[in-house]
Structure 1
């Protein structure tokens, strides 16, 4: 008995195609998962594929592999369930699937299942690399499915096979491209989504609402973009670019935190200075509501909220690139009157921590009297005279500030800002820690400023009578000759490893400019921009009904294109099918055409009833065609040779059969 087509075993080459397709589908997803999880899943897929190359793994061993890799994923994710954990579990199941992939049905199942991986990637990243790898994976998967279909049909080794497979995949892409473009540009987009997607179990790197020893070293080693800024009009000096983020009030002796109550209070009043800066800021996804702005924002843009201390929050988590138009100004006076409750919070220190620092603060207070500004200046001079800047610092003990100020006297912004605020509070000066970014890199190609995550910075604000809150950056007070180990020492120069490109900028500058263009024209194509799509043609704004009508017209045109291309490509490359269809057309010319719903045997029987002289020959051919088409299975080399010989003989028989029109005049009665 012939094997069922679905149970036909794959040859070695076809199995390689299937595994390669699954690997390429997995690749973009693995690149977006945390490194440890990505390496684990990739190694699992490789080991499973190699160990099951000749025969399926035993069922118990397959179960242990699946349970083991799923357990490891949950362990690495801290047993948190979220978007990235779900994507990692999907990748793990795909990686374990090759252990039982040997038949045609198994191969199609693995390829179809693996196609979910590129789509899952877009839940984590929508960048051009993810899209390019996803498109490549989809093309290879289509090519693999075409190969499996040819293997089942027995035409895998037909002349021009690979070229014909690529042609078929290209035709499929041409079929779907117009409809895909119409859906992207014209399908009505909602201003706000109907539903959300689960939060990530593992947080993205970036600013948070807390700061504790050792956390910032990883953030300051991350050179990925945090935000991009386009100024309209005047631009502040780079040394004045302080991008304000969370403001930290509460200190427990080790960790600084941003309190919830500050967010519930209206922003404190401030008198802006003469300078005004108008800009658009594009913030990279963080999955948090924390935002940054140039110090200080005049008001909150639509969709965001200013807290009491002028930290900025969005109404929804920033799951994708977001753009905000803002105005900022340096404060001339900022909250000149400090309410007693806020003063108390800005002076609070935990009991039992940093006794040497508090003793020094009290001594300086006695010596300075009521001159708070002199006390602040004395602290900065001490930093400039005795302290050094370095990223190589040990984790502190219980009295972290004492160890930094009196023993190590070296650290980075995390240490300087925390110690300075504790010292000020100990001396009776209200103070708080401000986190954010500082500086930026000007991109000449796009005329914008790029701020990376390793530009993260922490500084201090102290409250001085008559002036209110005043920014003080103790890290900047370190003498240049005492800066020992910086990020610039650990990273390439401004031109990167590749140097400049044709004098137009560094390789990283060109790359980031291209990424910004992708963000603007693809990821930034939202409902508002879609409604203004036809503004160059004089239509100021498209209404929802007009958008639906345009999409309907474009979809009809795309479907017409798909129909025309499908009919144009109806010619089969299978020589047996081509010969069979030509035979059908010859019978149609004498009035005995096969109806679309008629099987081959039923058609031959009807012809035998009407033309006994043609019936036996056609019945024999139809039987041979049905056996060749549906009864032949795959097998070894001998069976493949028999199948090719049968195909050649059948093609010759179909081509040589020429039905003649009946000469009897009664035919036309």
Structure 2
């Protein structure tokens, strides 16, 4: 609340304060739902304009608070989470200007505003958020400096001089901050977990139902980046395996809890081997993906009975995984009776036309399961089309898709194909994950985006086991196998779209560099910090010792700068001492008991310089006679250099 006894803000100081607070609010607004962020931004502008004329009445402020709470509930519901707390912080900051009247209010607003960029780091740690946070911090320091001058009734300073003051403050703290980031011992596991988000990030789920992926498939945000050690697999092998769905209720597919508890079945591997590293973007979920089929689960993950990877904890930050995969030539163990029954399960009294078609094909093909699979693919290839515009499914959704619509996307194709195979007596299941990936030539890695989310089928064939079948690829192979190189190779690189794609690749390469340098710097990398010097691993005690040494040096640097600033706070005296140091390099340093005039006369006798004596007289007059400081004197002292005359 405004303090009537505190000095009031000038219009200029109010503008600086509001601008700094707005800059601090921006990185947080960018992480909230767009509609909610727009409401907060409009409320912040209107509140600042309305309270600039007079203090808003208490009932009006209460109504504004209630309106903000209602907007948060409208967008996020009543479930608490990280983004809910950040939204509350943004709402309160948007309304804080209603109390901005005095210098004390301004300092309170700026201190409160600095929480906003730090809260944004709970939702995103990217370079854009960091850049905006740094700009907000610098603007806040600059504004606090202006407020201090206003409170002390000091004359205004040029913006360049104020920026130099902020630069000195940054120079004071930066060495200690860098030492803390690189050297302060990190824990392999966090002491506590971050709360979940109220509004989940798009990502792979442990279930699949009609049209649930439409938002995901329209999102071009990065899901993961992959670097291959050695050769990369061809496009037709870039299937990133995620959750496997076995249970079907006629509308929704779900994972089988029993399979999650089983170890992966033994398989005979093919000749190909893929060695790669995945940088997985945060999803706040536990599902991971790997190329078919992972050889083993990396530390911190579990490989279940369907060869799906799952993290031991929620992926709330960027994570890095080293994996090896090889396609399966054959499964060496047959399906158990329970597994076969589960892979043939269908809800009764649903999709009768599909069930009848499956029985007919079984009668015509006999025991040849591969012939039934090929017949289904030929039918889909000749009669079906790929589209994201599909009507809402009815009760017999598979019948409607196979016999009436005959157009859809991967969810429809994979689900209907599996139902048709089960109707024909072939064990089948749905596999979800990603397909494809675009190579970034600047960093030689592959980017898999959320819009590459995909669902395909697996069928159990005698002597082979589970075999991947992608009915979507039979209809729209470009949806699966088209790459950025194909598009640029067709001449798109010279078009506006091609240049935009190339610019996006450069931006993603820079983002990956940020991930490598900052976000993936964990306890393991910290312990290997001195490996180039022959030290394989730093123990925690060694890290503490190195950190204390660097922190001590940084604190010494801070103390020296502060002491130097206190000794030479006067810009005139600083300029005079710098001039003296220039002459000292020529053996003409001032003696301790020598006055400025005496020193200038002695220097003139040894190295004649007609400009030095008048300059020293101007300094003495300004420094000791109480005369008003002439700005040109400081400039002339900075510009003066010793003459080239010989020393007598």
TM-score normalised by length of structure 2: 0.84
Match of 2:347 among 342, 346, 350: 350
Partners of 1:57 and 1:448 in 2: how far apart?
Answer: 55
Partner of 2:427: 430
Higher mean Cα deviation, 443-452 or 455-464? 443-452
Q: Are residues 19 and 415 of structure 1, via their aligned partners in 2, closer, same or farther at CA, if it must alter by over 3 Å? A: same
The verdict on how the C-alpha distance between 1:6 and 1:355 changes in structure 2, with shifts beyond 3 A counting, is farther
Secondary structure of the residue that 2:626 maps to in structure 1? Answer: helix
1 CA distance for matches of 2:181 and 2:76? 34
1:138 is aligned to 137
Who is 2:225 aligned against?
A: 228
Correspondence for 1:542: 538
Q: Is the 8 A contact 1:496 1:506 kept in 2?
A: no
Aligned partners of 1:195, 1:152: CA distance in 2, in Å? 43
Q: Per the alignment, do residues 487 and 56 of structure 1 end up closer, same or farther by CA in structure 2, a change over 3 Å counting? A: farther
For residues 395-406 of structure 1, the aligned pairs below 5 Å read 395-406=392-403
Q: Which moved more, 1:565-574 or 1:492-501?
A: 492-501
CA distance in 2, matches of 1:87, 1:654: 58
CA distance in structure 1 between the aligned counterparts of 2:254 and 2:3, rounded to whole angstroms: 66
Shift of residue 499, structure 1, vs aligned partner: 4.2
Report the Cα distance in structure 2 between the residues aligned to 1:267 and 1:345, rounded to whole angstroms.
17
- Answering whether residue 507 of structure 2 is matched by residue 511 of structure 1, we say yes
Q: Distance in 2 between matches of 1:497 and 1:338?
A: 53
Alignment deviations for residues 624-651 of structure 1 (CA, whole Å, 9 cap, x no partner): xxxxxxxxxxxxxxxxxxxxxxxxxxx9
Contact 1:272 1:332 in 2 (8 A): yes
1:554 alignment partner in structure 2: 550
**What corresponds to 1:100 in structure 2?**
99
**Partners in 2 of 1:513 and 1:479 — Cα distance?**
29
Q: Contact 1:6/1:104 (CA < 8 Å) preserved in 2?
A: no
1:185 positional shift: 0.8
1:8·1:104 contact (CA, 8 Å) conserved in 2? Answer: yes
Change (3 A) 1:335 1:121: farther
* Structure 1 residue 86: Cα displacement: 0.6
Distance 1:32 1:494, change over 3 A: farther
| Range with greater deviation from structure 2 (139-148 or 364-373) | 364-373
1:162 offset after TM fit, Å?
A: 2.8
2:277 matched residue in structure 1: 280
Say which SS state the counterpart of residue 134 (structure 1) adopts: helix
- 1:655 alignment partner in structure 2: 626
Counterpart of 1:216 (choices 207, 213, 220) is 213
Q: CA deviation at 1:654?
A: 9.7
Question: How far did 1:239 drift?
Answer: 1.7
* Number of residues of Structure 1 aligned to a counterpart in Structure 2: 575
Structure 1 residue 305: Cα displacement: 0.6
Deviation at 1:259, TM superposition (A): 2.7
Is the contact between residue 265 and residue 333 of structure 2 (CA under 8 Å) also seen in structure 1? Answer: no
1:531 pairs with 2:502? no
| Structure 1: gaps (5+ residues) | 579-588, 590-650, 657-669
The corresponding residue for 2:289 is: 292
Distance 1:537 1:205, change over 3 A: same
Does 2:82 correspond to 1:86?
no
Taking a change above 3 Å as real, the CA distance of residues 449 and 442 of structure 1, as seen in their structure-2 partners, is same
* 1:386 is aligned to 2:357: no
Distance (whole Å) between structure 2 residues aligned to residue 425 and residue 520 of structure 1? 46
Once the two structures are TM-superposed, the CA of residue 326 in structure 1 deviates from its matched residue by: 1.1
Q: Does the 8 Å contact 2:414/2:456 carry over to 1?
A: yes
CA distance in 1, matches of 2:494, 2:307: 36
Q: Give the direction of change, closer, same or farther, for the CA distance of 1:495–1:279 in structure 2 (3 Å limit).
A: farther
State how far apart, in whole Å, the 1-side matches of 2:529 and 2:110 are. Answer: 38
d(CA) in 2 for partners of 1:325 and 1:246? Answer: 19
- Pair 1:216–1:479, CA change in 2 (3 A): closer
Q: What RMSD in Å do the two structures reach over aligned CA positions?
A: 2.8
Question: For residues 496 and 537 of structure 2, what CA distance do their matches in structure 1 show?
Answer: 46
- TM-score normalized by the length of structure 1: 0.82
Q: Alpha-carbon deviation of 1:439? A: 1.0
Whether the 8 Å contact between 1:32 and 1:124 is mirrored in structure 2 is yes
Q: Using the alignment, how far apart are the partners of 1:244 and 1:137 within structure 2?
A: 42
Query: Partners in 2 of 1:53 and 1:397 — Cα distance?
Result: 57
After TM superposition, the runs of 4+ consecutive aligned structure 1 residues lying more than 3 A away are 3-6, 491-501, 571-575, 651-656
Q: Name the CA distance, whole Å, in 1 between partners of 2:76 and 2:221.
A: 22
CA contact (8 A) 1:496 1:507 kept: no
1:290 is paired with a residue of what secondary structure? Answer: coil
- Report the counterpart of residue 48 of structure 2 in structure 1: 49
Would you say the 8 A contact 1:5–1:104 is kept in 2? no
Aligned to 1:582: none
> Residue 464 in 1 paired to residue 464 in 2?
no
For 1:150 and 1:253, the matched residues in 2 are separated by: 72
What are the equivalent positions in structure 2 for 1:167-566 lying under 5 Å apart?
Answer: 167-334=164-331, 336-478=333-475, 497=496, 499-500=498-499, 506-566=502-562
> 2: CA distance between counterparts of 1:479 and 1:247?
22
Contact 1:336 1:467 in 2 (8 A): no
Residues 125/479 of structure 1: CA separation in 2 closer, same or farther (3 Å cut): closer
1:21 maps to 20
The structural deviation recorded for 1:212 is 1.1
